[in-house]
Structure 1
């Protein structure tokens, strides 16, 4: 097997005196074509080529006709010279006829010899599924279009039509595969030739995913495992073109959702998964995982600006249900321990979500058997405010207005009418 690379056309020198003029005209035409790259001024009609190759033939023959047309010779002589030069310029094709009518020259060509057999294959490296499946789907019409463009094209024609063919392939790739360069290479076979088209990703590329996994129902330890697994499973996206990945954004989101749904943590907790993907060089992947069955959270808090409060740790365990469509109800228990003496306050309550991220509920706190009415408004998303508040007939108001700095750290303004310093600053770390 041998490899044929694309190269430009060349002109043979003519030995015979009656061909020297034609050779000179041909060389002048090639020079003019190379310098200008534009169609000439006189009318030229070319038949027998596909559209992508016809443009090259038209430019070359127009340059020749511009040189021949002004000469004071009869039409037959012009036709003879044009036929001779055209056969030298456009290798692989036979000049079937040339006719001159005033300022118009008409050329009719046919391929020399039997139809040349071509085969076309795509190569794009070791791309795993599902991106490989998306690429295969995008190129389903790409290969037939290339095969149709090469049908009946002699191998020699690519010596003078290589740039036009490369441009044709690039234009098809830009439409079907944004962000990919299509590089053609011809390999000769025992019979015919194989055109290999190498797909090469073009910058900007997706260099890395930046998953942000948030949840109000799963603890940090479980979220960390999901985060690391998601990075590993979606690693094939790294190195792919951003415009092409943007076209398949919905498939990426569905893929990430399937990957998470197969995890034991998500499956056992019957969690709901929502994924939002932004195709960029450092691509954010915002994931929300909320269990329909359980709520598990833990935290540690420290206070500033008060002498009435010590640091504390807390645990929240809840069992959720959906008695009516669109409603969520949770039975929960909370345990809060002060770090100075580890005295534990337990809270037992019920809450329901009338809409979105808001919850309303009531809880009984021990020791003391105190009834508190409670409100939560929290989307668990970094960079957003949140609110929790509770009220008791015996102890008044207690609550906090906070801001989530990261997925794991929040800062809030804390208020409690039971304390001497009613207002303090509270830092909360989610565990």
Structure 2
């Protein structure tokens, strides 16, 4: 009899903690939305999960776990009704609750109709020259692929709320790489195709005018006229950039111009030494000096207005 009492007490001791844990209040909730088609990106699924996280917290936090378990079907039905309203473009097919102090909620969803295939990513830079826009795009090389991956496989009807996710993605990337610019993002349907239109535009004080000069103290400037006109066009491509961007990348912009100059036949053939200096500002200065360690050429001319004949003479120095 005494042994039986000991075994009974031991059994009750092991059962009571389990009963206490099962009837404890919910401390936290983990929500996961799963696309049964498997096409929706994790980025969009995280957005869907976050939307339902608020609802699940209100439903379950501090509620008794035993009560939730007993009414599990009612909670699942309620979550399904809410999810169908929140997730435009999707319907919930099932809800699974794993009740405990950390309650797990799994919501299984599928797109209503068609899904997005091969979206068109239309990335544009506003207010800058096309070649400058191409250089700016090189600073955000992963953005095109990130947008395509984020929206591919999602429901075609999910464009409105998916646009918010894409805007956040683009803002984060632009802020990190091009803080002197701001983006605008729209998700459109054109001719049966999903188009993600991204327009990135400069903000703040802009380069409005460029004071450009190309000259040399070693070579007659008349011999550099071709280069002078060509690089006037190159410098003009900087018009429209934010002054802050030019200040931050001044050395890089100078180096780009210098590298182009070094490929010019005149510079290579005669071992000329170009130098570039940019002075950032709304009225920006660009000075290109062409010097030489091997040559110094100049011309001199004389005139005598008192003579009727042979009144001009000159000298050339090499």
In structure 2, the residue matched to 1:26 is none
Shift of 1:83: 1.6
In structure 1, the residue matched to 2:206 is 205
TM-score (norm 1): 0.50
In structure 2, the residue matched to 1:419 is none
**CA-to-partner distance for each residue in 1:384-415, whole Å, 9 max, x for gaps?**
xxxxxxxxxxxxxxxxxxxxxxxxxxxxxxxx
1:51–1:220 distance in 2 versus 1, CA, 3 Å: same
In structure 2, the residue matched to 1:107 is 106
Q: Which has the larger radius of gyration?
A: 1
**CA-to-partner distance for each residue in 1:168-210, whole Å, 9 max, x for gaps?**
1211233444433232222313333111212222334333334
1:161–1:115 distance in 2 versus 1, CA, 3 Å: closer
**CA-to-partner distance for each residue in 1:109-141, whole Å, 9 max, x for gaps?**
333134322221222358556424423534543
Q: Which has the higher contact order (CA 8 A, sep 6+)?
A: 2
In structure 1, the residue matched to 2:174 is 173
Asked if residue 151 in structure 1 is aligned to residue 152 in structure 2, the reply is: yes
Shift of 1:287: 2.7
Q: Which range is displaced more, 73-82 or 143-152?
A: 73-82
Structure with a larger share of its residues in helix: 2
1:189–1:248 distance in 2 versus 1, CA, 3 Å: farther
The question of whether the paired residues in 2 share the 8 Å contact of 1:253 and 1:276 is answered with no
Partner-residue secondary structure (3-state), 1:95: strand
In structure 1, the residue matched to 2:296 is 294
CA distance in 2, matches of 1:133, 1:161: 27
Shift of 1:224: 9.4
In structure 1, the residue matched to 2:310 is none
Partner-residue secondary structure (3-state), 1:277: strand
CA distance in 2, matches of 1:195, 1:241: 25
CA distance in 2, matches of 1:52, 1:242: 35
Shift of 1:93: 2.1
1:175–1:248 distance in 2 versus 1, CA, 3 Å: farther
CA distance in 2, matches of 1:278, 1:96: 63
Partner-residue secondary structure (3-state), 1:206: coil
The question of whether the paired residues in 2 share the 8 Å contact of 1:230 and 1:260 is answered with no
Q: How many residues align?
A: 262
TM-score (norm 2): 0.65
The question of whether the paired residues in 2 share the 8 Å contact of 1:173 and 1:182 is answered with yes
**CA-to-partner distance for each residue in 1:11-53, whole Å, 9 max, x for gaps?**
xxxxxxxxxxxxxxxxxxxxxxxxxxxxxx8413213364443
**CA-to-partner distance for each residue in 1:218-249, whole Å, 9 max, x for gaps?**
56777899767644441121102346554484
CA distance in 2, matches of 1:231, 1:138: 25
In structure 2, the residue matched to 1:47 is 33
In structure 1, the residue matched to 2:94 is 97
In structure 1, the residue matched to 2:309 is none
Please list every run of 5 or more consecutive structure 1 residues that lacks an aligned counterpart in the other structure: 1-40, 299-314, 320-431
The question of whether the paired residues in 1 share the 8 Å contact of 2:219 and 2:297 is answered with yes
The question of whether the paired residues in 1 share the 8 Å contact of 2:181 and 2:203 is answered with yes
In structure 1, the residue matched to 2:58 is 67
Shift of 1:81: 0.8
1:222–1:87 distance in 2 versus 1, CA, 3 Å: same
Alignment of 1:276-295 (within 5 A): 276-277=277-278, 279-291=280-292, 292-295=294-297
Alignment of 1:371-390 (within 5 A): none
Q: Aligned-residue CA RMSD in angstroms?
A: 3.9
CA distance in 1, matches of 2:161, 2:81: 17
Alignment of 1:153-302 (within 5 A): 153-211=154-212, 215-218=216-219, 230-242=231-243, 245=246, 246-247=248-249, 249-250=251-252, 252-255=254-257, 258=260, 271-277=272-278, 279-291=280-292, 292-296=294-298
Structure with a larger share of its residues in strand: 1
**CA-to-partner distance for each residue in 1:61-92, whole Å, 9 max, x for gaps?**
12212332249661221121112111211122
Partner-residue secondary structure (3-state), 2:297: strand
The question of whether the paired residues in 2 share the 8 Å contact of 1:183 and 1:198 is answered with yes
